[in-house]
Every structure is written in structure tokens, then in C-alpha cells.
Structure 1
Amino acid sequence: MKTCRFLTAVLALSLGAAGQASSQDSPQEPGSTPALNLELNALDTSDKGCRLTFVAANELSVQLDKVTFEMVLFNAEERVERLALLDFKTLPAGKTKVRRFDLANIACDNISRILINDATECSGEGVTEGACIRQLKTSSKSSVRFGI
């Protein structure tokens, strides 16, 4: 009888843990804030200079018709090397897109950090003012630091 209760308790704990694991693996938990995720995926030397590759995932509940970020590129001495406006164009809700930008006359190994200064454009039906910066989450797969 005790063995039966013990096995029932173990089974209940196992099922509860499995349920918790599956809810934690969901991309967005209920109650969490939707985000615009921007990953600096790669920097590659191109014929023009340096090619930046970004992965943008719009987890907001609205389509972004036009998104432009002002980015500041710093050199190895932490001095501003360049300011650039990068137009990410349309980012549909719930969709991930890859965007590439060729920056002329700059060597990739000269870039130590990229700072997003502002979202100079963030438009779409139902998009609140400042949403592209306020709900932006950044990450980097390269050795270059990337953030807000």
C-alpha cells in the first residue's frame, strides 16, 4: 500500500516537472513583454568594406512597416568611427528576417562595439511611439559588443 502511494507521488511529481519544463520552453510566456529582438549575427569583409548581418525577430503583436535604427560604430580605441542609419524595412509580426548592410570604407576588425543610438523611424498600424527602442532586445553572435 505504501509502495503504491509512493509511486503515485513520484508519478505526480514527474508529470508536474514535465509540465513545467514544457511551459518554460515556450518562446514567450504569458505575461512577458513582447519584444523586437535584434541580433548582430556576423561581420564579414566585403568588396566595399564591412558587411553587417542582423537577425531581426518581431515578437510584437503588430507589423512594423518601416524600422530604421541609428547605429554608432566604435573603433578599438572606443572612439566613434561612424554613425550609420540602417533601414530594416518591413518586419511582419511573428516573423524573423535577416538583413545585411554593406558599410563602405571600414574594416570589420576596426569595429569593437556597435551602439543603437535611436530608432529614427518606427511605423506601422497600432505601433506606439518609441516601441522600437523601448521593446528592443539586443544580442550578438560576434566578438563585437552590441546594445542600446
Structure 2
Amino acid sequence: MLKRSVLALTLASSLLPGISHAQEAGAQSPASELVVELNALQPTANGCRFTFMVTNHLKAELASVGFELVLFNKAGMVSRMTVVDFKDLPQSKTKVRQFDFTGVDCADLGRVLINDATECKGDGLEVGSCIRSLNAQTRTDVAFGT
């Protein structure tokens, strides 16, 4: 009887890591986040064009979303505060948005700060969902984030 108990315990303990791993894998779900990527900065005749890639991984379609941006020069001084409107963002969809900022020198940008969400509307979304769920990324040499 003792041998059976030891055998049963040995067998059970060898299966537990597999069961635990399977439960963890099954419990994982896609991240509930709003990814905003500063994809490119391009000089224009009058300033700088910002290209953003935005992907809505929230659990709701966004009827409208906007952010207040603060632009800093390379010396760390605030050069501009502005609001950008990304409009509607369907769930699980990626969109590209471009904004032209006159009087902004792309080469002198040191940092772009997302100060706050000015707009975040969608069914079932709590106030502040967009800023709390924000995942800011950049493909440029300019620091970008909250």
C-alpha cells in the first residue's frame, strides 16, 4: 500500500507542471491596450510631419480618441503643446494618422510626451481607459511616451 501511495504521488507531481503550464497558457488573453507608435518624422516646407501608427487592442471600438502632446527641443525646453485627434479606431484595427506641425523643426525635437488623453469615447469604456491602457512606442530617434 505504501508503494502505491508513493507511486501515485510521484505520478501526480510529474503531471502538475504540465497542468499548471496548460492552465497559464489557456488563461492568457490578448493585452487590453492602445498602442500608439511614433512611426516617422519628416521635414516639410513649413515644419514637421508626424506619422503615427495606432492599434486598438482595447475591448471596445473607439468612437473617438485624442491626446495632448508636449514637444520638447533637444535642450529639454517645451516648444509646443498641442492636441491630436485620432478619430475613430475600430477594435483590433491598425490605422495610420499624420499631423503637420508648422514651425516645428524635426531635427531639433528631443522628446514627445503624451501628457493626457483629451478624448476617449467607446461603449463600456471607463473614464481614463485610453491613457491607462496606452502603450507608447517609437521607431524614431526621438523619445516618445508618457
Question: TM exceeds 0.5?
Answer: yes
Larger Rg: 2
Query: How many matched pairs?
Result: 123
RMSD: 1.7
Gaps of 5+ in 2: 1-17
In 2, the alpha carbon distance for the partners of 1:111 and 1:60 equals: 30
Q: Secondary structure at the match of 1:143?
A: coil
In 2, the alpha carbon distance for the partners of 1:147 and 1:34 equals: 18
In 1, the alpha carbon distance for the partners of 2:143 and 2:33 equals: 20
Q: Secondary structure at the match of 2:69?
A: strand
TM-score (norm 2): 0.79
TM-score (norm 1): 0.78
Cα deviation, 1:8-50, whole Å, max 9, x if unaligned, reads: xxxxxxxx9xxx9xx7xxxxx8246410001000000112310
Amino acid at match of 1:73: L
Q: After superposition, where does 1:73-112 map in structure 2 within 5 Å? A: 73-112=71-110
In 2, the alpha carbon distance for the partners of 1:94 and 1:80 equals: 34
Q: Which residue of 1 aligns with 2:117?
A: 119
Amino acid at match of 1:144: V
Q: After superposition, where does 1:1-148 map in structure 2 within 5 Å? A: 30-31=28-29, 33-148=31-146
In 2, the alpha carbon distance for the partners of 1:143 and 1:48 equals: 21
Cα deviation, 1:34-79, whole Å, max 9, x if unaligned, reads: 1000100000011231000000000011011111100000001100
Verify the 8 A CA contact 2:112 2:145 in the aligned structure 1.
yes
In 2, the alpha carbon distance for the partners of 1:32 and 1:58 equals: 11
Verify the 8 A CA contact 2:47 2:103 in the aligned structure 1.
yes
List, as ranges, runs of 4+ consecutive aligned residues in structure 1 with deviation greater than 6 Å. none
Q: Secondary structure at the match of 1:142?
A: coil
In 1, the alpha carbon distance for the partners of 2:99 and 2:129 equals: 23
Q: Secondary structure at the match of 2:92?
A: coil
Amino acid at match of 1:133: I
Verify the 8 A CA contact 2:31 2:57 in the aligned structure 1.
no
In 2, the alpha carbon distance for the partners of 1:82 and 1:44 equals: 17
